[in-house]
Amino acid sequence: MVTMEGDWSLVGRLRGETDLTALHRLPLFPVPTLGLLAGCVLAFALVSLAWLDELIPAWASVALAAPIFYASFTVLHDGTHRAISRSPLLNEVIGTLGGQFLLPGMEVAVYRFLHLEHHKHTGEKHDDPDDILVIAPKWSAPAIMMFIDVVWFLWYVRRFNRWPSSQNARFVLGFVAYAAWHVAWIASHYAYEWMILWLLPMRFGLLITAYLFAHIQHPPEVEQRDRPLHATAMITRHPLTRFLMLGQSAHLIHHLYPQLPFYRLEAGWDAAARGLEPRGLFWRGIGGSVKRFDAPPAPSPWIAARVAEVEVLTPTIASFVLEAADGGALPPFEAGAHIDLRLGDDLVRQYSLIGRPGAAAAYRIAIKRDEAGRGGSLAAYRRLVAGAAIEIGRPRNHFPLRAGNGHVVLVAGGIGITPLLSMAEALAADGRPFTLHICARNAAEVPFAYWFGKAPFAGHVVIHLDDGEAGQRLTPARDLAGPAAGDQLYLCGPGGFMTWLKGEAATLGWPADAVFSEDFAPVAGPSEAFRVELARSRRVIDVAAGQSIVEAMEALRLPTETLCRQGVCGTCRCKVLSGAIDHRDSALTPEEKAAGHEIMTCVSRGAPGETLVLDL
SS3 content of the chain, % helix, strand, coil (to 5): 40, 20, 40
Residue 161 lies in a domain: yes
Q: Are residues 413 and 389 both part of a single domain?
A: no
Q: How confident is the model at residue 234 (pLDDT cuts 50, 70, 90)?
A: confident
Higher pLDDT, 129 or 528: 129
Of 519, 543, 577, the last residue of a domain is 519
Residue 8 lies in a domain: no
Residue 402 lies in a domain: no
Instruction: Give yes or no for a contact between 565 and 556, defined as CB atoms under 8 angstroms apart.
Output: no
CB within 8 A of 52, min separation 6: which ones?
Answer: 193
Q: What is the DSSP string of 580-592?
A: -EE---SSS-HHH
Number of domains in the chain: 4
Comparing 34-43, 168-177, 266-275, 555-564, the range with the smallest average pLDDT is 555-564
Cα–Cα distance for residue pair 153/149, rounded to 1 Å:
6
pLDDT the model gives residue 96? 95
Report phi then psi at 409, rounded to 5: -110, 120
Q: Are residues 179 and 45 both part of a single domain?
A: yes
Q: Are residues 136 and 270 both part of a single domain?
A: yes
Kindly report the average pLDDT of the chain as a whole number.
85
Domain harbouring 605, CATH code: 3.10.20.30
Q: Are residues 273 and 182 both part of a single domain?
A: yes
Which range has highest mean pLDDT (173-177, 540-544, 587-591)? 173-177
Cα Rg of the chain, angstroms: 28
Residue 13 C-beta-side C-alpha neighbours within 13 Å: 19
**pLDDT tens digits for 399-431?**
888 888 899 999 998 888 999 999 999 998 889
pLDDT the model gives residue 300? 66
Rounded to an integer, the average pLDDT of 22-45 is: 94
Higher pLDDT, 300 or 182: 182
pLDDT the model gives residue 74? 95
Instruction: Give yes or no for a contact between 196 and 63, defined as CB atoms under 8 angstroms apart.
Output: no
Please report the beta strands in 452-513, taking only residues with DSSP state E, as ranges in sequence order. 461-465, 488-493
Q: Are residues 413 and 369 both part of a single domain?
A: no
Instruction: Give yes or no for a contact between 515 and 502, defined as CB atoms under 8 angstroms apart.
Output: yes
Domain harbouring 478, CATH code: 3.40.50.80
Residue 294 lies in a domain: no
Q: Quick one: which of 532, 536, 526, 573 has its CA closest to 555?
A: 532
Residue 123 lies in a domain: yes
Q: Are residues 375 and 437 both part of a single domain?
A: no
Q: Quick one: which of 407, 421, 558 has its CA closest to 484?
A: 407
pLDDT the model gives residue 65? 95
Q: How confident is the model at residue 526 (pLDDT cuts 50, 70, 90)?
A: low
Which range has highest mean pLDDT (36-40, 279-283, 358-362)? 36-40
Does the pLDDT at position 274 exceed 90? Answer: no
**pLDDT tens digits for 306-348?**
999 999 888 889 999 999 998 888 888 989 888 888 887 667 7
Q: Are residues 315 and 248 both part of a single domain?
A: no
Residue 541 lies in a domain: yes
Q: Are residues 308 and 252 both part of a single domain?
A: no
CB within 8 A of 400, min separation 6: which ones?
Answer: 13, 334, 335, 336, 337
Q: Quick one: which of 221, 262, 193 has its CA closest to 126?
A: 221
CB within 8 A of 140, min separation 6: which ones?
Answer: none
Of 340, 368, 393, the last residue of a domain is 393
Higher pLDDT, 437 or 135: 437
Q: Are residues 386 and 412 both part of a single domain?
A: no
Length of the chain: 616
Please report the beta strands in 74-122, taking only residues with DSSP state E, as ranges in sequence order. none
Residue 297 lies in a domain: no
Does the pLDDT at position 104 exceed 90? Answer: yes
Does the pLDDT at position 152 exceed 60? Answer: yes
Instruction: Give yes or no for a contact between 534 and 541, defined as CB atoms under 8 angstroms apart.
Output: yes
Of 363, 393, 423, the last residue of a domain is 393
CB within 8 A of 347, min separation 6: which ones?
Answer: 375, 376, 379
Instruction: Give yes or no for a contact between 356 and 429, defined as CB atoms under 8 angstroms apart.
Output: yes
Instruction: Give yes or no for a contact between 522 and 349, defined as CB atoms under 8 angstroms apart.
Output: yes
pTM: 0.60
Instruction: Give yes or no for a contact between 543 and 531, defined as CB atoms under 8 angstroms apart.
Output: yes
Rounded to an integer, the average pLDDT of 256-271 is: 92
Q: How confident is the model at residue 568 (pLDDT cuts 50, 70, 90)?
A: low
pLDDT the model gives residue 410? 92
Q: How confident is the model at residue 134 (pLDDT cuts 50, 70, 90)?
A: confident
pLDDT the model gives residue 260? 93
Q: Quick one: which of 383, 413, 396 has its CA closest to 352?
A: 396
In a 10 Å sphere around its CB, with 0-12 CB exposed, 13-18 middle and 19+ buried, how is residue 70 labelled? buried
End-to-end CA distance of the chain: 44
Q: Are residues 493 and 564 both part of a single domain?
A: no
Mapped onto helix, strand or coil, the DSSP state of residue 24 is coil
Rounded to an integer, the average pLDDT of 503-531 is: 74
Strands 530-534 and 611-614: parallel
Please report the sign of the dihedral spanned by the C-alpha atoms of residue 171, residue 173, residue 179, residue 185. negative
Residue 2 lies in a domain: no
In a 10 Å sphere around its CB, with 0-12 CB exposed, 13-18 middle and 19+ buried, how is residue 409 labelled? buried
- Can you give the three-state secondary structure of 435-452, one letter per residue? EEEEEECCHHHCCCHHHC
Cα–Cα distance for residue pair 306/341, rounded to 1 Å:
11
Q: Are residues 115 and 145 both part of a single domain?
A: yes
Domain that holds residue 241: 16-284
Q: Are residues 389 and 413 both part of a single domain?
A: no
Q: What is the DSSP string of 193-257?
A: HHIIIIIHHHHHHHHHHHIIIIITTS-TT--TTT-TTTSSPEEP--HHHHHHTTTGGGHHHHHHS
**pLDDT tens digits for 48-102?**
999 999 999 999 999 999 999 999 999 999 999 999 999 999 999 999 999 999 9
Instruction: Give yes or no for a contact between 205 and 69, defined as CB atoms under 8 angstroms apart.
Output: yes
Instruction: Give yes or no for a contact between 68 and 101, defined as CB atoms under 8 angstroms apart.
Output: yes
Higher pLDDT, 388 or 236: 388
